[in-house]
């Protein structure tokens, strides 16, 4: 039976404190439990340090790049210092630009808008929709979707073959994830970057799931751009980052037209306007910037760096092992994987429970145990359908059919579950939350 943990679970979140680690939620059976937030891959809770830093700055908030007053100057310095902090966190090269955006999705749409005319994009079907879809918005771009690889080596070989067959006169971009938002598996980024550059292509790394768990060294990985979101990096204040080579960004039309992106504006004799646009990151940051979002990201970058990724990754591996070994004796539970159970991964695990509807199962975890997970296709529909043995071209929406959810792979397609359950965690996850999750899954099964 579910246990009321409200009196016993109010422990300090480790290894880094996060907001919400003592929030109690009601249970369907009566009473309440301290909420076990195990949906970090969607949005991670704010680090306590990030919240404290933002709160300390808030009274001094002012316009950025706009005013001569003290608060405006302070806010401008804070904003630009945050840019420098992010550049250090990402291992940017001296000539790279750091552009603040709204999210990973916004960053990749910005890059898509900046691609040279007629460029070809190569992207695996395994990508999150944020990396899968932006290229379709430009009719002049040619997009090649690559089949899901089953080993890291196959990923590199598939990319090399596709690049070798491309038109050599076209600019080319490869888009790849660093860590899957479905399986948590780490991708061979350095090897994919080497393959891209060997064939005259550039590469952008979607680090939305990688940056909160592992160091991202843009120069060390030899990628041309990296994109990530603050809300997955324990800084949920509506900001993101696109960092990397300046030339395509400098040569492209501003992502948004407006103040801040323009250096000078003058009327022409014919009644039109002559506009000189900035060539720095400001070119794509029109409007009043989200200084709090940028500062929050910088605060999170400092906190993670000081905590040490080696120590954070080692503890996270212990949690991954606890989940996998804890459920190893439950035959109804099947974890999803591209590269195999032993593949290196971050704290993101997806699974199905044979014979159970994924949406109902996730709802039961919440209502009966106070555990928050995600169910569905995780904005990576082709990948999840491939992992579930369904056709990746299936047009259905998220959600499992009610007729025979969780049916075995030998069942007819219409009877097979088209959704999964995802559990994800990070630096603010206590051991107890993982233990409660394992116990809850066993009891529900």
Q: How many CA atoms lie within 13 A of 133 on its CB side?
A: 10
Host H or E run for residue 274: strand 273-277
Residue 281 DSSP one-character state: G
Element containing residue 219 per DSSP (H, E): helix 218-221
Q: How confident is the model at residue 87, as a pLDDT?
A: 98
Of 13, 21, 301, 379, the catalytic one is: 379
Query: Do 260 and 65 touch, CB atoms closer than 8 A?
Result: yes
Q: What are phi and psi of 172, to 5 degrees?
A: -135, 145
pLDDT at site 396: 53
Between CA 284 and CA 277 the distance in angstroms is 10
**Are the beta carbons of 123 and 143 closer than 8 angstroms?**
yes
398 as an active site residue: the answer is no
Only one residue has tokens 């949005």, namely 43
pLDDT 10s per residue in the chain (445 long)?
Answer: 454 444 344 444 568 999 998 999 999 999 999 999 999 999 999 999 999 999 999 999 999 998 899 999 999 999 999 999 999 999 999 999 999 999 999 999 999 999 999 999 999 999 999 999 999 999 999 999 999 999 999 999 999 999 999 988 899 999 999 999 999 999 999 999 999 999 999 999 999 999 999 999 999 999 999 999 999 999 999 999 999 999 999 999 999 999 999 999 999 999 999 999 999 999 999 999 999 999 999 999 999 999 999 999 999 999 999 999 999 999 999 999 999 999 999 999 999 999 999 999 999 999 999 999 999 999 999 999 999 987 666 555 554 344 333 444 444 443 345 799 999 999 999 999 999 999 999 999 9
Measured CA to CA, the distance from residue 228 to residue 360 in angstroms comes to 31
DSSP class per residue in 309-353: HHHHHHHHHHHHHHHHHHTTT-TTEEE--SS-TTS-B-SEEEEEE
pLDDT at residue 412 in the model: 41
Bridge partners of 142, per DSSP, are 120
Query: E strands along 160-238, which residues?
Result: 172-177, 202-206, 225-229
Q: How many helices (H) and strands (E) would you count in the chain?
A: 13, 17
Angle at 200 between CA 106 and CA 130, to 5 degrees: 20
Helix, strand or coil for residue 381?
Answer: helix
Both tokens assigned to 437: 């999750």
pLDDT at 11: 45
Q: Say how far apart CA 137 and CA 146 lie, in whole Å.
A: 19
């Amino acid at each position: 039976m579910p246990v009321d943990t409200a009196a016993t679970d109010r422990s300090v979140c480790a290894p880094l404190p996060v907001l919400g680690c003592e929030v109690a939620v009601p249970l369907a059976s009566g009473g309440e439990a301290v909420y076990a937030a195990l949906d970090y891959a969607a949005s991670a809770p704010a680090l306590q340090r990030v919240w404290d830093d933002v709160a300390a700055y808030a009274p001094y908030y002012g316009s950025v790049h706009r005013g001569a007053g003290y608060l405006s100057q302070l806010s401008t310095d804070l904003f630009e210092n945050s840019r420098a902090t992010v550049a250090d966190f990402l291992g940017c090269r001296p000539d790279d630009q750091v552009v603040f955006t709204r999210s990973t999705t916004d960053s990749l749409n910005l890059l898509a808008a900046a691609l040279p005319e007629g460029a070809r994009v190569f992207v695996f079907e395994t990508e999150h929709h944020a990396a899968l879809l932006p290229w379709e918005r430009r009719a002049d771009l040619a997009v090649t979707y690559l089949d899901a690889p089953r080993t890291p080596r196959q990923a590199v070989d598939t990319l090399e073959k596709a690049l070798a067959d491309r038109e050599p006169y076209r600019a080319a971009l490869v888009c790849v994830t660093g860590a899957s938002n479905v399986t948590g598996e780490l991708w061979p980024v350095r090897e994919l970057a080497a393959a891209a550059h060997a064939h005259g292509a550039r590469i952008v790394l979607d680090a939305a799931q990688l940056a909160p768990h592992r160091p991202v060294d843009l120069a060390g990985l030899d990628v041309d751009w990296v994109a990530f979101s603050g809300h997955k990096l324990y800084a949920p204040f509506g900001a993101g980052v696109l960092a990397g080579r300046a030339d395509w960004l400098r040569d492209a039309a501003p992502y948004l037209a407006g103040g801040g992106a323009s250096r000078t504006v003058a009327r022409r004799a014919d009644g039109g306007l002559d506009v000189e646009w900035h060539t720095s990151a400001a070119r794509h940051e029109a409007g009043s910037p989200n200084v709090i979002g940028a500062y929050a990201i910088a605060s999170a970058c400092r906190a993670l760096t000081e905590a040490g990724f080696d120590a954070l990754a080692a503890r996270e591996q212990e949690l991954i092992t606890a989940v996998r070994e804890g459920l190893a004796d439950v035959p109804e539970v099947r974890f999803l994987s591209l590269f195999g159970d032993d593949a290196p991964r971050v704290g993101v695990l997806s699974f199905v429970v044979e014979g159970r509807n994924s949406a109902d199962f996730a709802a039961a975890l919440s209502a009966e145990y106070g555990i928050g997970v995600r169910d569905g296709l995780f904005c990576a529909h082709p990948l999840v359908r491939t992992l579930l043995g369904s056709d990746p071209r299936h047009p259905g929406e998220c959600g499992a059919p009610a007729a025979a959810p969780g049916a075995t792979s030998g069942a007819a397609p219409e009877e097979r579950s088209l959704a999964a359950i995802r559990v994800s965690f990070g630096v603010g996850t206590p051991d107890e939350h993982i233990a409660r999750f394992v116990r809850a899954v066993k009891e529900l099964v």
